[in-house]
Amino acid sequence: MQRLPSLRNASLKGKRAFVRVDFNVPIEDGKITDDRRIRGALPTINYLLESGAGVVLCSHLGRPKDGQPDPKHSLAPVRAHLETLLRRTVGWIEDPFKPFAVQPGEVYLMENIRFFPGETKNDTELARALAEWADLYVSDAFGSLHRAHASVEALARFLPERYAGFLVEAEWENAQRVLTQIQSPYLVVVGGAKVSDKLPLLQNLLPRLDRLLIGGGMSYTFLFALNQPIGRSLLEKEQVEAARHILAEAERLSKKVLLPVDSVAATEFSAGAPARVFRHDDGTFPEEYMGLDIGPATIQAAAQFITGSRTILWNGPMGVFEWEAFRQGTQKVAEFIAAETATGAYSLVGGGDTAAAAEVVGVTEKVSFISTGGGALLELLSGETLPGIAALLS
């Protein structure tokens, strides 16, 4: 396994560290509704402070117009929350172009880096200005590593020393467990809305996995490719060929594939829509219904299918888990994965909405690792080189 430069090997006393974190958290009415990404960076921040370094934290938040301040996307609420979590004062940097000497044991948070021109363009001018703040670069923004942005990529190359923070290191090492350090049988569970989002991952992992469970909205494009009725369920017409190709490839490689045999379905896409169960495999799925969750027969088959797996990757819910009537498939599959984990299997959960789904169904503490990365994890598992990783290794 390729190792990232570890913070444990850095000499930190009296140094100033620029730490790119991912504090892009959901905020409603000034309140942070999910602080996992902030908590994820605490070990790195505390380690730096305890080692006698001064710390400058930098993140983006939301999608303000590039280079334009927008109070809606200020990191000020994050600063307040961080002070509570760290139990210490966190200084505030309003203007990254006016550097000052951050002292050992001090921690500062910079305003949303996307308020300043050049961040999303990987601009060298901005990176040069940011480099003035520090002696070394620490990358702890796993959720942003797939973006070639100035504070993620260009800056890492500008500073003379660069290290992976503990979050990035943990994410990287856990990703290796489903990429290169696999224990067979290897089960991949994919779901969620879009086939197109998951194709690169499927293509990369298909040769390595032993079992593939496809559920959620994306499964209907696969069923359609097999000429099974799906009514008004989600369908990506332009991906039907790709789905057919994946299934043919899986067969050629003798991989086990489980697709839904039935669905919990409704005639409209709403939380309270009356739900009924129909089968796909016997051709009786009605035209006016749409599948919003995997059905009981599929859940039963999934229980068997999951049992005995030693490595498990779960990406994507089995249905519209946000609505209770269509949550059972995600709930059960998550519980089956948790049960395997309890018997010693390794399980990684993440990408897109999956971490949120794991929380809703209550398995957060029962799987081996929950990734904080959405797109970054998907790209890493698709075999792509992430710009933020390449810069770290440069």
From residue 12, how far is each of 8, 134, 137, 251, 342 by CA, in Å?
A: 9, 12, 11, 53, 39
Q: Is 37 a catalytic residue?
A: yes
- Shortest distance in whole angstroms from residue 193 CB to ligand AMP: 4
Candidate residues 39, 88, 121, 194; the one interacting with ligand AMP per rule CB under 6 A: 194
Active-site pick, 39, 88, 121, 194? 194
User: Beta strand 276-279 with 256-258: parallel, antiparallel or unpaired?
Assistant: unpaired
H or E stretch at 311: strand 311-315
User: Do the Cβ atoms of 167 and 140 come closer than 8 Å?
Assistant: yes
Task: For residue 322, state whether it binds ligand AMP (rule: CB under 6 A).
Answer: yes
Residue 197 CA to residue 98 CA, distance in Å, equals: 41
Going 381 to 384 to 385 to 388, the CA torsion angle's sign is: negative
Catalytic one among 62, 91, 105, 375?
375
Of 231 and 291, which CB lies nearer to ligand AMP in the complex structure? 291
Least distance in angstroms from the C-beta of 216 to ligand AMP: 4
Size of the site for ligand AMP (CB under 6 A): 16
Give the footprint of ligand AMP on residues 228-247 (CB under 6 A). Answer: 234
Which 89-148 positions form the footprint of ligand AMP (CB under 6 A)?
none
Q: Are 225 and 248 in contact (CB under 8 A)?
A: no
353 binds ligand AMP (CB under 6 A): yes
From the candidates 215, 352, 373, 374, which is the catalytic residue? 352
Is residue 375 annotated as a catalytic residue, yes or no? yes
Residue 276, strand partner residues: 265
Catalytic residue selected from 16, 20, 37, 114: 37
User: Least distance in Å: CB of 287 to ligand AMP?
Assistant: 16
Among 217, 175, 198, 174, CA closest to 319: 217
Question: Residues 137 to 176: which contact ligand AMP by CB under 6 A?
Answer: none
Give DSSP secondary structure letters for 332-376: HHHHHHHHHHHTT-EEEE-STTHHHHHHHTT-GGGSSEE-S-SHH
The amino acid at 36: R
Tell me which stretch binds ligand AMP (CB under 6 A): 9-17, 95-103, 159-167, 190-198.
190-198
Q: What residues from 298 to 317 belong to the interface with ligand AMP (CB under 6 A)? A: 316-317
Phi then psi dihedrals of residue 160, to 5 deg: -70, -25
CA distances from 258 to 60, 298, 299 (A): 39, 9, 11
Residue 67: active-site member: no
* Nearest distance, CB of residue 373 and ligand AMP, angstroms: 13
DSSP state of 57: E
Of the residues 140, 197, 210, 379, which one makes contact with ligand AMP according to CB under 6 A? 197
CB of 219 to ligand AMP, least distance (A): 8
Q: Which of residues 366-385 bind ligand AMP (CB under 6 A)?
A: none
Nearest residue relative to ligand AMP (C-beta): 192
The reply to whether 194 belongs to the active site is: yes
In this structure, are residues 372 and 167 in contact, taking their beta carbons and an 8 Å threshold? yes
d(CA 164, CA 136): 11
> Which phi and psi (to 5°) does residue 58 adopt?
-140, 135
The least distance separating ligand AMP from the CB of residue 124, rounded to whole angstroms, comes to 34
Report the interface residues with ligand AMP, using CB under 6 A: 192-194, 197, 216-217, 234, 291-292, 316-317, 319-320, 322, 352-353
Catalytic residues: 37, 194, 352, 375
